[in-house]
Amino acid sequence: MGKRIAVSATFIALAPTIAAAQTGGGDGNPGGLQIDIGISTGLTYDSNLSLDPGGDSASIWDTGLTFAFSSVAPNQRFEFVAGGVLRYIDTAGASDFGLEDPRFRLGYTRESLNSRLEFSASYSDVDRDFLDPFLDTTDSSDGGKVATTDAALRYETGLQDPFGFILDLSHNKVEYSGTTDPDLNDNQTDRAGVAARMRVSPVSTVTVSAAQTWYEEEDLLQTDRTTTEYLVRFEHELDQVISLDVGLGYDRIEEVLTSGTTITSGAVGYVGVTRAMTNGTANVRLATSIDDEGRRTELTFGRDMELPRGTFSAMVGASRAPDGDVEAIGRLAYVQRTSTGEFTASLERSAYTDDGDNATDTRAAVGYRHEINSVSRLDLGLEWSLVDRATGGPEDTTEYARISAAYSRDLTADWDLTSGITYRTRSDTTDGDADSTAVFVTLSRNFSFRP
């Protein structure tokens, strides 16, 4: 498996460059046909765009354009979104101008009284220097481009019947270019799953499912992995406040490498209990799973609360790695709405195994939005992450931090102006330390037409 950083949701991203103008697509369509066009243009200066030790400064002019067509009816929804960026970038070594970051997204949903069909597809080809390091799933500072293709189909029957079927198909392909990082390899994942669901009583449901996943990676070992999963799930409401969710199954993983073939298999399962409370829910869950690295078992306790002007969510627990090491895991999320804005804070720690090494990923984020008046606002954000792959051995860590401030103003009903500053740092055991300061200003507008 390639190196990765576990992804956790972040509440604020004050990007110093424009990925593309944003439009609502089908989400902003109240019904019927609608065309949305978004345009944005902006200037950015970044003292170290790639966030590499000794990296070059860059001056960037971006003009983003997005086109969206959507059709919304009572029982179906269709949307198509296409976008790209006309970019000029001037660095200490060279300059470049061209059309960058093409993105396409297609979605279709149709629902009848007793069935539901969902289809989605997307494609993007973006410069990795412009990816958010808190959302990029690699820990590499190497540049280049990454092209991603996704497609998914889900068909469900028997929504109102005691018996129903579910079909799930998905495809993901990732291709890298212009990079020398040996951990960034082209890969493809295909998955097919079927399930049969039966409501045995008004408070009990049984689901039997089977799925197979095919994974291929163009690495030195020519990884070819097939994962087969079987699961029986039982959901039961013990009473009006307590519900039970139990799953028991069997997984088999066959991995073919140039060095030989290995097979990992065994029982998997989970048991979870949720209790409804006056202001939310409380839950406990024990789960065990296997992958090509071995077996991992986790025990967690959770609490979700609805507050008078916000929400609070917490989860704490422990994760046991395939080699027996135990790490603390958890998640906290807090949202507080005020009369003039919103305050958000989050903390998350996860554990995983990668290429035989146990790793932990710790993330924290704090943000505040202040509505100055009806046409202007101020956004402040602080984000931090630490990936530790040492596991008792030689130090091997990657640390990111970002502080952002942005001021936005509605110039007219259609035109928006945003300006701000971002300071980033990256510290890596192998690559060393780097920091960057960026200032940016962006002008954007969205147009909507209803034929």
pLDDT tens digits, one per residue of 302-336: 999 999 999 999 999 999 999 889 999 999 999 99
- Spatial CB neighbours of 317, under 8 Å, sequence gap ≥ 6: 298, 299, 300, 301, 328, 329, 330
With respect to residue 186, please indicate whether it lies within any of the assigned structural domains: yes
The whole-number average pLDDT for the span 224-250 is 97
Candidate from 41-45, 96-100, 103-107 with smallest mean pLDDT: 96-100
- pLDDT reported for residue 256: 94
SS3 437: strand
Contact of 148 with 174, CB cutoff 8 Å: yes
Which residue from 405, 363, 431, 434 is spatially nearest to 135, judged by alpha carbons? 363
Centre a 10 Å sphere on the Cβ of residue 376 and count the other Cβ atoms it contains.
14
Q: What's the number of CA atoms in the CB half-sphere (13 Å) around residue 401?
A: 8
The whole-number average pLDDT for the span 269-275 is 98
- pLDDT reported for residue 280: 96
Candidate from 190-194, 302-306, 353-357, 374-378 with smallest mean pLDDT: 353-357
With respect to residue 4, please indicate whether it lies within any of the assigned structural domains: no
Candidate from 68-82, 176-190, 310-324 with smallest mean pLDDT: 176-190
Give CA–CA dist 29/138, Å, rounded.
35
Give CA–CA dist 148/104, Å, rounded.
11
Give CA–CA dist 433/173, Å, rounded.
32
With respect to residue 274, please indicate whether it lies within any of the assigned structural domains: yes
79-117 burial: b if 16+ Cβ within 10 Å, else e: bbbbbbbebebbbeeeeeeeebbebebebbbeeeeebeb
Give CA–CA dist 174/56, Å, rounded.
27
Specify the higher pLDDT residue, 20 or 197: 197
Specify the higher pLDDT residue, 134 or 38: 38
Residue 138 banded pLDDT, cuts 50, 70, 90: low
Give me the amino acid identity at 72.
V
Domain span at 111? 25-449
- pLDDT reported for residue 30: 81
With respect to residue 173, please indicate whether it lies within any of the assigned structural domains: yes
The whole-number average pLDDT for the span 264-274 is 97
- pLDDT reported for residue 50: 84
Q: Which residues pair with 411 in a beta bridge?
A: none
Which two structure tokens, joined as six digits, stand for 261? Answer: 């073939």
Contact of 315 with 300, CB cutoff 8 Å: yes
- pLDDT reported for residue 25: 54
- pLDDT reported for residue 5: 32
With respect to residue 8, please indicate whether it lies within any of the assigned structural domains: no
- pLDDT reported for residue 392: 59
pLDDT of residue 164 exceeding 60: yes
Give CA–CA dist 59/64, Å, rounded.
16
Highest mean pLDDT among 6-10, 65-69, 97-101, 387-391: 65-69
Give CA–CA dist 113/1, Å, rounded.
43
Give CA–CA dist 350/328, Å, rounded.
8
Which two structure tokens, joined as six digits, stand for 118? Answer: 């969902």
Which residue from 27, 85, 38, 78 is spatially nearest to 61, judged by alpha carbons? 85
With respect to residue 235, please indicate whether it lies within any of the assigned structural domains: yes
Average pLDDT, the chain: 89
- pLDDT reported for residue 7: 31
Each residue of 390-419: pLDDT tens digit? 665 667 888 999 999 999 999 988 899 999
SS3 336: strand
Q: Which residue has the tokens 């945003």?
A: 418
Candidate from 9-13, 37-41, 152-156 with smallest mean pLDDT: 9-13
Specify the higher pLDDT residue, 376 or 56: 376
With respect to residue 9, please indicate whether it lies within any of the assigned structural domains: no
pLDDT of residue 39 exceeding 50: yes
Contact of 239 with 203, CB cutoff 8 Å: no
- pLDDT reported for residue 10: 32
- What is the residue-wise DSSP string for 58-87? EEEEEEEEEEEEEEEETTEEEEEEEEEEEE
Which residue from 99, 143, 132 is spatially nearest to 438, judged by alpha carbons? 132
pLDDT of residue 219 exceeding 70: yes
With respect to residue 5, please indicate whether it lies within any of the assigned structural domains: no
CATH of the domain at 245: 2.40.170.20
pLDDT of residue 440 exceeding 90: yes
pLDDT of residue 71 exceeding 60: yes
The number of distinct structural domains making up the chain is 1
- Spatial CB neighbours of 129, under 8 Å, sequence gap ≥ 6: 49, 50, 143
Centre a 10 Å sphere on the Cβ of residue 49 and count the other Cβ atoms it contains.
24
pLDDT of residue 367 exceeding 50: yes
The whole-number average pLDDT for the span 149-169 is 97
Contact of 58 with 46, CB cutoff 8 Å: yes
